Amino acid sequence: MTDHVQEQEMEIEALEAILMDEFKEIHSGESGLNTSNQCFQVTLSPQDDEADESTMPPVELALIFSHTEKYPDEPPLLNVKSLRGIQAGDLKILKEKLEQEASENLGMAMIYTLVTSAKEWLSERYSQDAGIDNTGEEELEKDEVIVPHGEPVTVETFLAWRERFEAELALERAKLMPESALTAPKEKKLTGRQWFESGRATAVSQVSLCLFRCTKIWYL
């Protein structure tokens, strides 16, 4: 005949050694279970010891259980409570999952198995939500990227631009040059030095610089 009490006591000792501060005995009145037997609570969160807590949502779960008279040949009494950030719908889903697993593990100590299953479910459930949030942030960052627009520069477009620029520059020079300088006999035309000293060369240079800057902006 199986000694259920001894098995239950050994399981409690093992859970205390493994879970340490996450495991504690609570009063049956705060367990939410319909029993006057000893009740215990295991505190769980989705964070692992090596995980970055900043990437995980702040949720915390209490897994509460009490051994029945014939446990582990019959399922334990189970309850789950949200200590922080877990919705009632999720608690219902998790409780049904744990009760199903308990019925599949009859005949052996199963509390640690249920604790592990609950923690894995919690991590998957809330890590998935965090992943969705991160995806939204990434999409927002993509929307903020400014994509440059304009005609791509090739050898052909550059040569065409240079021809237009030189033609415009020659036209501006012709406009600034006095008519007498264009029609005067060769001996009366201004020399390069005279042209420079007259100040007109400076004006042409300023026009050229202006055209170059405007064209550079168009090119960019």
> Which DSSP state fits 61?
E
Structure confidence by residue, pLDDT tens digits, 62-73: 999 999 999 999
In the prediction, which pLDDT does 205 show?
Answer: 54
Domains of the chain: 4-49+56-130 (3.10.110.10), 155-219 (no CATH)
Contact 204, 178 (CB under 8 A): no
Q: How many CB atoms lie within 10 A of CB 214?
A: 12
Give the mean pLDDT of the chain.
Answer: 77
b/e code 26-57 from CB counts within 10 Å (16+ = b): bebeebebeeeeebbbbebbbbeeeeeeeebb
Nearest to 161 by CA among 146, 151, 171: 151
In the prediction, which pLDDT does 217 show?
Answer: 46
Whole-model pTM: value is 0.57
Contact 75, 68 (CB under 8 A): yes
- Flag whether pLDDT at 139 surpasses 60: no
Percent of the chain with pLDDT over 90: 47
In the prediction, which pLDDT does 58 show?
Answer: 82
In the prediction, which pLDDT does 91 show?
Answer: 95
Structure confidence by residue, pLDDT tens digits, 149-208: 566 667 677 777 777 777 777 777 666 665 555 555 555 555 655 555 555 555 555 545
Question: For residues 84 and 197, what is the distance between their CA atoms, to the nearest angstrom?
Answer: 86
Structure confidence by residue, pLDDT tens digits, 97-134: 999 999 999 999 999 999 999 999 998 888 755 554 45
In the prediction, which pLDDT does 141 show?
Answer: 57
Q: How many CB atoms lie within 10 A of CB 207?
A: 16
